[in-house]
Structure 1
Amino acid sequence: MTKGLHVTSEIGQLKKVCLHRPGDELLNLPPDELERLLFDDVPFLEVAQQEHDRFAEILREQGVEVLYLEKLVAEAFDAVPEARAEFQKQWLDEAGIKGKMAPQAVSELLDSITDNFEYVKKTMAGITKAEVEMPHTSSVTLDSLVNTESESDLIVDPMPNLYFTRDPFAVVGTGVNLNRMYSVTRNRETLYGKYIFKYHPDYKDVSLYFRRDASFHTEGGDVLNINEHTIAVGISQRTQAAAIDVMAQNMFWNSDSKIDTILAFDIPVSRAFMHLDTVFTQIDVDKFTIHPAIMGTLKVYKLTPGKNPGEVDITETTDTLEHVLASALGIDAVKLIPCGGGDPIAAAREQWNDGSNTLAVAPGKICVYQRNNVTNDVLYKEGMELLVVPSAELSRGRGGPRCMSMPFWREDL
């Protein structure tokens, strides 16, 4: 049984991965608050769970050990019982609860859940006014105690984006970036990573290259492991350039890290280019899926250690994307396979449904969404082995198979 983390590429044989099975958080998505909660639609939970279960089953069929985020957190609390109270205090502080008496009522509700697994799922699901018992007095109403300005029935927001486990943290080599995420809505998700990497018996000793209380924001979808020594990071709406400076400081001079080169890709701020992995992902030793609209628009900055500890050298590269990637991989050339097969309408439609966001289980063997049939046909013709995930409901969250997975262990190439 392997303990710890080990990820030095995007395509090495996947041995262990962290997922989150969509839960009741999707039932607490009010249509009039979708934008605030970063959703475009309300997935049908029952079907989303069936699709996600098939995704996990496909991975297991390939010999991958599937870990669940909610179970790992519960196991951390089982191992260190006092960790739950520490977590709950921090969770309550960050839950945005309005009113004087509601925090106590919410705390009592959580305390009443004795099973740690059910407890963790409840903290993810959100809490409604109907679920808490407030003091019965004639002079106050529940509304006045909770939040006089909100017509929402939510006391605590759900975390509907949690099934995209790629973003709250990012495994790099044998360590992890524990992220500070772009939106308040999602930043609470990183609490779960904090308690896994602080208390879980298998993961508590890993190096942290980024911390959730950092001054700058970054998300895991912007981090790609190129090889043992190089990562690519997107400068995007969700990841600030200054956050990449922090990563460089914490990776270049950490004895646990072998990273000595960070390639920072400056990508346009747009919903279609939310993260670097919605722009391109590696699928084979020399092949990448790519959103065709990104061609010709990228600036790339190369960060390497300076002469003295703490110094970072930065050089701007004006070469083509193909040359940048081939050079980083140490090969003669790479092939970029366009989402939608180059058809602008198909590319836009399938990019919306994450056609270039694939998860490699091994070189040339990739998980793809069933609905992106134009892109999938192109990938078949390029010799890829496709592991097809049903995706009618999962895709409503605007994230593909890579977004829904955080590799914990890959074999080296």
Structure 2
Amino acid sequence: MDTAELKKEVIAFSKTIGIDKIGFASPDPFTELKQRLIRQQELGYQSGFEEKDIEKRVNPSLIFDSPQSIIAVALAYPSKIKNPPKGKKGARRGIFCRASWGEDYHTILRDKLSKLEDFLKEKVEGARCKSMVDTGELSDRAVAERAGIGWSGKNCSIITPEFGSYVYLGEMITNIPFEPDTPVEDQCGDCRKCLDVCPTGALVSAGQLNAKRCISFLTQTKDYLPDEFKGKIGNRVYGCDSCQTICPKNKGIDFHFHEEMEPEPEAAKPLLEPILRLSNRAFKERFGHMAGSWRGKKPIQRNAIIALAHFKEESAVPELIRILQEDPRPVIRGTAGWALGKIGGEEAKAALLSAREQEEDPDARNEIEKGLAFFD
């Protein structure tokens, strides 16, 4: 088997199925990554969404029998919405991060990788492959970095010379011994704009992230948002792009190569109040195709309530009072109580005083007390 010729054919085929960049890496253990992951674990910086077994994350041979190489792929996604809807008083809007615009990228990338697998199996008898996107054992970024897709930026994103950091990543382990590509040289230099702009200080140092402080992580949690972060998330209902939008390497970057990635303006920047009234079924119909829906409606609704408080949107007070009085979920009731205090007004205060007497859940009552404290 002429793997050099096959590699050329794979690259050519990848372009025909809409893969924007492809690279090849050795399947050797990621020893440097292992030390970083151990340190992250010791510091308590992990989000909890990752694969728990560090050995599986850094050693391809533990998840694939006799790996010979890893193929990394990248797809560029849009960074701008054409004719974005504007929020205004009485009709405030939230925003989903760019990685959640359009169809769920897990679905898009898995489809591309599946076609690539079929191509290899057709070309090579006995070819074996294992593909993964985001939720697999391996680190997408570590593989992409080794395969020359881009360098690992100080903002913990892979930054490509062509598409900036606005790329989705995926990889495939295979038993075909492709020649590895050369990693891209780090081009961040002395720039530290991403570290300085992070709203919560989650970027502890260059390339080191405390995931538990990252707004992207916080918007995906289901419990009460800690007080120190409530004033930081603004109108974000899912994810955060601050460390990407500030990056000089992303200046002027906006690619619209894939129709399925195109943002639906009303979904990417939705009106906040209607989100609060969605049933589970309606939420799935409205947002189910987006990556940002994976945790269900509860985190999105909680974040929408906090966003309305951020705007001090007085027109939302009746809806927040309804939630405070009727919603069966303590976290949502409590967050509404806090938001009513933040927005203020006599109607909100009266509702909070009444709710304090009625609320049986201690944590929800505590949030109501925090709302009342705004009136002191």
Higher CA-based Rg: 2
TM-score (norm 2): 0.25
Higher strand proportion (structure 1 or 2): 1
Higher helix share: 2
Q: TM-score scaled to structure 1, two decimals?
A: 0.24
Higher relative contact order (CA 8 A, sep 6+): 1
